[in-house]
Amino acid sequence: MTQPSVTTDRATAPVRAEVARRRTFAVISHPDAGKSTLTEALALHARVINEAGAIHGKAGRKSTVSDWMEMEKARGISVSSTALQFAYHSGASVDGRPGIDAVVNLVDTPGHSDFSEDTYRVLTAVDAAVMLIDAAKGLEPQTLKLFQVCRHRGIPVITVVNKWDRPGQAPLELMDEISTRIGLEPTPVYWPVGIAGDFRGLLDRRTGDYVRFTRTAGGSTIAPQEHLSAARAAEREGDAWTTAVEESELLSATGADHDEELFLAGQTSPVLFGSAVLNFGVSQLLDLLIDLAPPPRARLDVDEQPREVTDPFSAVVFKVQAGLDSAHRDRLAYMRVVSGVFERGMVVTNAATGKPFTTKYAQSVFGRDRSTVDTAYPGDVVGLVNALSLTVGDTLYSDKPVQFPPIPQFAPEHFRVLRGSVGGKAKQFRRAVEQMDSEGVVQVLRNEVRGESAPVLAAVGPMQFEVVAARMKSEFDVDAQMEPLPYALARRTDAESAAELDRQRGIEVFTRGDGVLLALVSDRWRLQYIQKELPRLTLEPLVAAAD
């Protein structure tokens, strides 16, 4: 009776071994908290790049690996998510477990709140998150929103207080703010030696030792670090060390010590202090991620049944991106492997259509650079090239059928009519609109009155329109003109209600690219009036960006 189980265990052992090596996470933050700089620093410490780009968007400095669009380089912000995969050998854990040769899948997220829908998609594809906080500003609105998404999805969070090399708040005040504002109990693993603006090193609260950092020119290379005993640290740093030890003891007295079970349950968050631009605390963060963050786990399908990591291959498409390479008009669909082994060239089934899909061109992604990948395991992010039939939220599988819950689209709040400004480019215009729609850069709405030549773009934030205009020009040589529409709300409706709604003042009905009917409404008062006077009509709220 036990033989089949033993045989199964032997067959799945290689998959389980590879899964144990994987760590897939995203970095979330408010704009300008240093997210892309930290992403670059993590790649530097994993020794997959030789020199960090430091702060992007500054004259004479390099742009970061993860920011490749011209708009990102010019403004110094991230407006699109990207994936970086690299190997990293972690140090031994404090409890004596040896380090492992890990495979890190880091999915960088847009920093600006206008692109929170793209960030939400990324958070459906990761197992953990790093919440980056500015030492001076503390918790900011976009950070709070994204944390709530992590909480809703059960994603454990590691907190990094960044920019400790600059003046900022007192560390205990920041811990109080995290605890009171989001109800997440901070459990610092590394505590700063030196006040904000005088960052000397870190007290390892698990061992009591001191990690002392030395600055490098511009922070472009790995900062040398020296490990000292508590006694040596006291001699070297004096009062700064004494203060750090006293504060650490106060944290222990209040129960603020790391507990792995509470962390994975989403009740606590390990904390460390660092400076991404100086590369201080970055290797400690990498080791924490490998040591504490969970490897890939089973995922629930639409019927709330678990798809185990050892089940046959399955994956979820969480992003579609074109324009990565101006020399080739290809399109990349990012999929997160959920279960089983992916092998390049295998024929899989798209659960949405029931049609087969051949994965001949599969690539591992590192920012804008790509290389062919032959095999991937649960947790890995793989780019499928020229996947024209795939859209965001699609489930791919082999052998054992499965379909995962769809990724919801957010409720748009900004609406503009799109027109091409130059005649004779109707074909390029249509191709550009189709591309933006399929990628989810914006939501594209159409109706018979406006026709194909004047689709309506719907967005969470107005900067999405700027991305559309910039990409239509650079990738399709189309000069796009956009005119604002007098609508502020979107509600889902149905065919039975559409005709009546279209006759109402201040309302216009459109069909979204996925076939959903949306009623655009001029303002909340008009919506309340229609709901009161015509309660039989369907006007259902969509997922809000802050949900």
Express each pLDDT in 50-76 by its tens digit: 554 433 333 333 444 444 455 545 554
Q: Which CATH number fits domain 21-292: 3.50.50.60, 3.40.50.300, 3.30.230.70, 3.40.1710.10?
A: 3.40.50.300
Tokens of 53: 């780009």
**In 10 A of CB 417, how many CB atoms?**
15
- Buried/exposed 105-139: b ≥16 CB within 10 Å, e otherwise: bbbbbbbbbbbbbbbbbbbbbbbbbbbbbbbeebb
Reported residue count of the chain is: 547
For 530, half-sphere exposure in the C-beta direction (CA atoms, 13 angstrom radius) is 26
110 is known to lie in a ligand binding site = yes
- Say if residue 215's pLDDT is above 70: yes
Q: Which CATH number fits domain 414-533: 3.40.462.20, 3.30.70.3280, 3.30.499.10, 3.30.1050.10?
A: 3.30.70.3280
238 is known to lie in a ligand binding site = no
Q: What is the SS3 assignment for 44?
A: helix
Task: Give rounded-to-5 percent helix, strand, coil for the chain.
Answer: 30, 30, 40
Residue 418: per-residue pLDDT: 94
Q: What is the DSSP string of 312-375?
A: SPEEEEEEEEE-S-TTS--EEEEEEEEES-EETT-EEEETTT--EEE--SEEEEETTEEEE-SE
Q: Which amino acid is at 253?
A: A
111 is known to lie in a ligand binding site = yes
Residue 2: per-residue pLDDT: 45
The structure tokens 């992604």 sit at: 365
Tokens of 427: 């074909």
- pLDDT bin (cut points 50, 70, 90) of residue 1 is very low
List where CATH 2.40.30.10 sits in the chain.
299-397
- Determine the average pLDDT of the residues in 271-290: 94
Residue 114: per-residue pLDDT: 62
List the beta bridge partners of residue 134: 138, 162
- pLDDT bin (cut points 50, 70, 90) of residue 111 is low
Residue 63: per-residue pLDDT: 45
108 is known to lie in a ligand binding site = yes
Q: Which amino acid is at 193?
A: V
Q: Which CATH number fits domain 299-397: 2.40.30.10, 2.60.120.260, 3.30.530.20, 3.40.50.2300?
A: 2.40.30.10
Per DSSP, 48 falls in state S
112 is known to lie in a ligand binding site = yes
Residue 323: per-residue pLDDT: 59
List where CATH 3.30.70.3280 sits in the chain.
414-533
- pLDDT bin (cut points 50, 70, 90) of residue 544 is low
Element (H, E) at 180: helix 171-182
What percentage of the chain has pLDDT greater than the value 70? 86
- Determine the average pLDDT of the residues in 301-322: 94
**Phi, psi (rounded to 5 degrees) for 443:** -95, 130
Cα separation, 216 vs 278, in Å, equals: 7
Burial label for 73, CB within 10 Å (0-12, 13-18, 19+), is: middle
- Determine the average pLDDT of the residues in 159-183: 96
Per DSSP, 115 falls in state G
pLDDT, mean over the chain: 86
Within its chain, how far is the Cα of 25 from the centroid? Answer: 8
List where CATH 3.40.50.300 sits in the chain.
21-292
Cα separation, 471 vs 467, in Å, equals: 6
Express each pLDDT in 329-366 by its tens digit: 567 899 999 999 999 999 999 999 999 999 988 988 76
Choose among 391, 333, 337, 323: nearest CA to 361: 333
Cα separation, 288 vs 283, in Å, equals: 9
Residue 423: per-residue pLDDT: 63
- pLDDT bin (cut points 50, 70, 90) of residue 6 is low
Q: Which of 6-20, 116-130, 469-483, 505-519 has the highest mean pLDDT?
A: 505-519
